Every structure is written in C-alpha cells, then in structure tokens.
Amino acid sequence: MNKFLLSGMLIGAFVMGGMTCAPADLQAAEAARMQLNRATADELAASGAVDKATAEKIVKLREDLGGFQSYDDLEELGIPAEQMQKLRDATTIQSADADCNC
C-alpha cells in the first residue's frame, strides 16, 4: 500500500475520533461530574447528593486525609447507601498525582 495513502487513512481515523482515549459520551459524562477532591461543601450540597452537614463532613475528612483515593475513604462518615450512590453519580475522584483524564 502506498505510504501516503496509509498515512492519510491514519490521519483520517484520528481526526474522526477513532483514536481517542475514551468514547466522547463517556468523556462528556466524566466532565459533567464534579471532582470530589476539589468540590466545596456548597457545591456538594447543591448537587443534591448530600445535605450541607454531610457535605461539610466530606470536605473536613478530605482535608484530614489530604485527598480521597477512593469512595471507600468515606466509609467512616456512615453515609447511607442511597446517598452514597447519588454522591458517586454526581462526583468523580481523581487523585492529585493523576495527569490524565483517560
């Protein structure tokens, strides 16, 4: 195959989104969720996932831990399962050392 034709095909695949690190709809969904390691108590409460008091406890725990590594870090707060699921749906956890949103 002609090397120019092959390189054109590869460029076309890249431009059309064939070589992204995740499907576009997944990236959009992730972008819409707030970062639990950066959100304020007011932002968490405004999401409707938790009330203001719980949001403040989450932020305090985050400060004490230096950031969350996973939702398991929240277990000590005793957040009810239904609220925890809402929190998972509304947020995402990206550790401070992560350098890719992939």
> What does the pLDDT look like over 49-85, one tens digit per residue?
999 999 999 999 999 999 999 999 999 999 999 999 9
Q: Look at the pTM and tell me if it is higher than 0.85.
A: no
Query: pLDDT value at position 32?
Result: 73
Asked if the structure places residue 7 within a domain, the reply is: no
> What does the pLDDT look like over 14-55, one tens digit per residue?
444 444 455 555 454 555 789 999 999 999 999 999 999 999
Asked if the structure places residue 76 within a domain, the reply is: yes
CATH of the domain at 33: 1.10.150
Asked if the structure places residue 56 within a domain, the reply is: yes
Split into its structural domains, the chain has a count of: 1
State which residues form the domain around 44: 22-92
Asked if the structure places residue 98 within a domain, the reply is: no
- Burial state string for 33-69 with b = 16 or more CB within 10 A and e = fewer than 16: ebebbebebeebbebebbeeebbbbbbeebeeeeebe
